[in-house]
Structure 1
Amino acid sequence: MSLGALRPSPLVEQATERLREQITSGDWAVGTKLPGETSLAKSLGVGRSTVREALRALAGAGLVQPRQGSGVFVIATRPKEDWSTQLRQAAITDVYEVRMLLEVEAAQLAAQRRTDDDLTVLTAALARRRDAASGSDADFVDADIALHSAMVAAAHNPVLTGLFTEFVPVLQRGLIDLVELLSLRSGEPNHGDDGHSELVDAVARGDAEAAGHILRAELKRTLALLHSL
């Protein structure tokens, strides 16, 4: 089957896409050995270096795998999903369970490692959350997540901070839906203020056990509400 020569534009991207189409359409099934670089280059009308880069991109997407001395083989017909994509597609309850594991540990570390600057940021974030109680649900959720982000940052672990940042877009959507569907703020505009105030106090006094306990209880209550939707 002729692949057809490519137009002279970003050749690596075009070559990658053309080869990807052959795989995802089923023309090259799992287990198929791809033609050699020379053959592919001739079919696509590009140089071998372009084909090599395209194959590297397909390998990075989890579609092909080079085998030393044997060639390049198709190992999947759908590209693997990155972490951000998996989070966007995951159920909010699943995301929340993982958030609980991550953030409770972060709260305990924050109580042990927080600096005076961290406490200033946390206090300001708590005040912003209280101010946002008079605003929209979206504004309130944003302020709530900002407080939690400040607490995670106070743990001074860049990996924890990076992971929590990945969670934020999914959390925003899920929590806004939760607040709106259950009208959580209809009788209590500053929903959960006591728990968040206690969390900041525990971190401020360096009580890691209390910080973890308070946050775990808060997140469990929210998870139970999410399961009720």
Structure 2
Amino acid sequence: MPLGTLRPSPLVEQAAENLREQISCGHWPVGSKLPGETTLAKTLGVGRSTVREALRALAGAGLVQPRQGAGVFVIATRPEVDWPTRLRRAAVADVYEVRMLLEVQAARLAALRRTDEDLAALRTALDARRAAAGGDDAAFVDADIALHTAVVSAAHNPVLTDLFAEFAPALRQALIDLPDLLPRRTADPGTGDDSHTTLVDAITACDPDTADHTLTTELTAVLTRLKHSES
């Protein structure tokens, strides 16, 4: 695929896309050195500064790597996908399975590490979830995730906290889009209040086994519905 002269604007984005296409189609295979900035600028019909910015964008995407004194080399044919983007593209059930791994362990740790401040936050979040049960789906899902976030926070593991924060947006949209969310809430006015109360009580009582069992049961039921909706 030959390089072509570009339209006037936006030049950097066009230059980066043109070069990306050359890399992805194998014109410049992994390990090869790209032509110099002057050559690329002449071929693309842009200035060297535009080429330089385009190469910087490709480096940020993990496609090329500049080596001081040697030039710019191709290191991959496909751009790296950041974690939030990967989560948005992943199957909801797959995301939820990983959520279970993280959150069940977090609940066990929370039961062993919770502080008085954590317990107060959990009770506040539980009350907010109850109050949101009569509202719209989005408000209820937000309140539900806030309670689960409080559980993860009580584990006092910053890595778990950060990972759950990455999952939260994908989980929120998945739950809002769950086809049977509204019928399930109509059939169950408490919308799982008993199980969530048991979870908070288990953490309060420093009972990791009950916290584990309660959350596993709750999340497994949701995962089953998610898999059914995707089938």
TM category (shorter chain) comes to 0.7 to 0.9
Instruction: Structure 1 unaligned segments of length 5 or more: list them.
Output: none
Q: Secondary structure at the match of 1:185?
A: helix
In 1, Cα distance between equivalents of 2:182 and 2:34: 54
What's 1:24 paired with? 21
Matches of residues 107-118 of structure 1 in structure 2 within 5 Å?
107-118=107-118
* Letter in structure 2 aligned against 1:24: E
Q: Measure how far apart 1:116 and its partner are.
A: 0.7
Equivalent in the alignment of 2:188: 188
Does structure 2 conserve the Cα–Cα contact (< 8 Å) formed by 1:123 and 1:200?
A: yes
* 3-state SS of paired residue (1:30): coil
**Letter of the aligned partner of 2:47 in structure 1?**
G
- Partner Cα distance (2:190, 2:96) in 1: 21
Q: Which moved more, 1:94-103 or 1:166-175?
A: 166-175
AA in 1 matched with 2:103? E
Aligned partner of 2:104 in structure 1 is 104
1:64 aligns with 2:61: no
2:178 paired residue number: 178
Q: Percent identity?
A: 57
Equivalent position amino acid for 1:80 in 2: E
Quickly say closer, same or farther: Cα 1:17–1:212, change in 2 above 3 A: farther
TM-score, length-scaled by structure 2: 0.82
| TM norm structure 1 | 0.83
Alignment of 1:75-224 (within 5 A): 75-178=75-178, 180=180, 183-224=183-224
Instruction: Give the number of equivalent residue pairs.
Output: 223
Structure 2 CA distance for partners of 1:22 and 1:28, relative to 1, 3 Å = farther
What is the CA-CA distance between 1:163 and the residue it aligns to?
0.9
Q: Does 1:46 align with 2:45?
A: no
Shift of 1:21: 2.1
Amino acid at match of 2:193: D
User: Offset at 1:180?
Assistant: 4.2
Structure 2 unaligned residues grouped into runs of 5+: none
Q: Does structure 1 conserve the Cα–Cα contact (< 8 Å) formed by 2:20 and 2:58?
A: no
Cα deviation 1:74-132 (Å, max 9, x = unaligned):
34443211000000011110000000000011111111111111111100111111111
Checking the alignment, whether the CA contact within 8 Å between 1:113 and 1:156 is kept in structure 2 is yes
Q: Distance in 2 between the 1:183 and 1:6 partners?
A: 53
Q: 1:136 to 1:40 in 2, by over 3 A?
A: same
Partners in 2 of 1:191 and 1:146 — Cα distance?
15
